[in-house]
Amino acid sequence: MSSTSRDVSVPALEVKDCQKRFKGYGRNEVVTAADNINLIVAPGTIVALVGSNGSGKSTLLSMVAGSLLPDSGQIFVAGEDVTDLPSWQRTGRVAVVRQNPEHNVFSALTIAENFALADAGKSRSFNLKRAAGPRVRDIAHAALKPFSMGLEDRLDALAGTLSGGQRQAVSVAMATSRDPGLLLLDEHTSALDPTRARVVMEQTEAIVRSRRIATLMVTHDMNHAIKHSDRLILMHRGKIAMDLDQEEKAGLTVPGLLSRFEKLTGETLPDSAVLA
């Protein structure tokens, strides 16, 4: 569904009473990674998910992506119940850009061929021999040009020859060119150097805003979470501990966010959870 034809009255994402438990290290230990989570994301909204390791943010993202199925509860994408659909059946509805650049593109294929694979996920048909066809190349050229890395002129280069930042640029360009109803970003700039991370993050925001793609972004970078989102959710012990909209986070600083979290939970986030 194109950004111009989406029903803005229907949430891009709705998570209803979702729970996910895992067996712990002890014989009878059970860890609740997602504790009856409820979340509604409006079309075109960028939501940042932050929290310490084990807070539940990655579990929530995985349940929305379909790589984990909830033990109970329901998940709707653009009004469609996808609760029991595995990740490959959510292609076209949900796009994912992962933390490791090597997990987002096929190194042995060219940039154009990677775009052809992404396009196949939308059309449900694929012929590698046609990967360098004019239509796919036009899509790739238009999607890559905004990153200002010259990748639009290197469509026949193998993805394996690209730097991490270039691969993530290709990954974001591929994911958003499909015009999904929902984009999931799993710490997609954390493996990059600060300069590349800034470029990729800023361009990611520009693209999703121009296409009005609802985005759920897991990040450890509190500055990114505050600066590049419309809404900031802080998770703690499998629950949503704090949910700040654009007005509530206006003027918010990293120390201010951490102070609010400490007052709310009586705990402090570890240094590993904060990249100020």
Query: For the chain, what is the domain count?
Result: 2
Report helix, strand or coil for 188: coil
Work out the average pLDDT over 175-192: 91
Least confident interval from 8-17, 68-77, 265-274:
265-274
pTM of the entire structure? 0.90
Pull the structure tokens for residue 88: 């490959």
Are both 143 and 61 inside the same structural domain? no
Q: What is the distance of C-alpha 89 from the center of its chain?
A: 17
Are both 85 and 114 inside the same structural domain? no
Predicted confidence at residue 18, as pLDDT, reads 97
pLDDT digits (tens, 9 = 90+) for 133-142: 888 899 999 9
End-of-domain residue from the set 146, 161, 176:
161
The answer as to whether 2 is a domain residue is no
Q: If residue 223 lies in a helix (H) or strand (E), which one and from where to where?
A: helix 222-227
Beta strand segments in the chain, E: 13-23, 30-41, 46-50, 72-77, 80-81, 94-97, 182-186, 214-218, 231-236, 239-244
Is it the case that residue 240 has pLDDT exceeding 90? yes
The answer as to whether 206 is a domain residue is yes
Range of the domain at 149: 106-161
Reported as a pLDDT band with limits 50, 70 and 90, residue 5 is low
Are both 167 and 95 inside the same structural domain? yes
The answer to whether the beta carbons of residues 190 and 215 sit under 8 Å apart is no
Predicted confidence at residue 121, as pLDDT, reads 60
CATH code for the domain of 40: 3.40.50.300
Work out the average pLDDT over 9-23: 94
